[in-house]
Amino acid sequence: MANEKKLNVTINDGDEFFAHEVSVSYNPTLFNIDFRRISSRVDMRSNDANVLVLRHNVVILEPYVIKKLIEVLQKAVDKYESEFNKIETPDAIKKLESKLKVELEKQNNHNVVDYAPNYFGWKNLN
């Protein structure tokens, strides 16, 4: 007991961050998960009244850790759905997907799965 050392630990919790967009990129050694929030603001000092504010929080993970994250998220979703019901696509998103499908059919490209909604419209994931 006489040789015990004390250790002070300070935990710096990050700020909570709401994201309504996320993108994932990777290279041979890392995955980058970019959580984004875009909101409009009015800047009274500017002649242009409309200003978009874009915030990013990027999480960088090794491939093994991203694989474990997927497992943890899937377990959490399964528990959530068993308690609160299946997570469904909101009606507004279904309506946008139908609209996108019509547009893609005009272009002879039927793969709606390759697109995701974002603040600026639909983004091709490929």
- 68-118 pLDDT, tens digit each: 999 999 999 999 999 999 999 889 888 887 887 777 777 776 565 566 656
Q: Is residue 75 part of a domain?
A: no
Phi-psi region of 43 (alpha: psi -120 to 50; beta: other; left: phi over 0): beta
- Looking at the 3D structure of the chain, how many domains does it have? 1
Q: How many CB atoms lie within 10 A of CB 56?
A: 13
Which domain covers residue 47, as residue numbers? Answer: 18-66
Strand partners, 33: 24, 59
Provide the whole-model pTM: 0.65
Q: Is residue 48 part of a domain?
A: yes
Query: How is 11-61 classified by DSSP, letter by letter?
Result: --PPPP---SEEEEEE-SS-EEEEEEEEEEEE-TTSS--EEEEEEEEEEEE
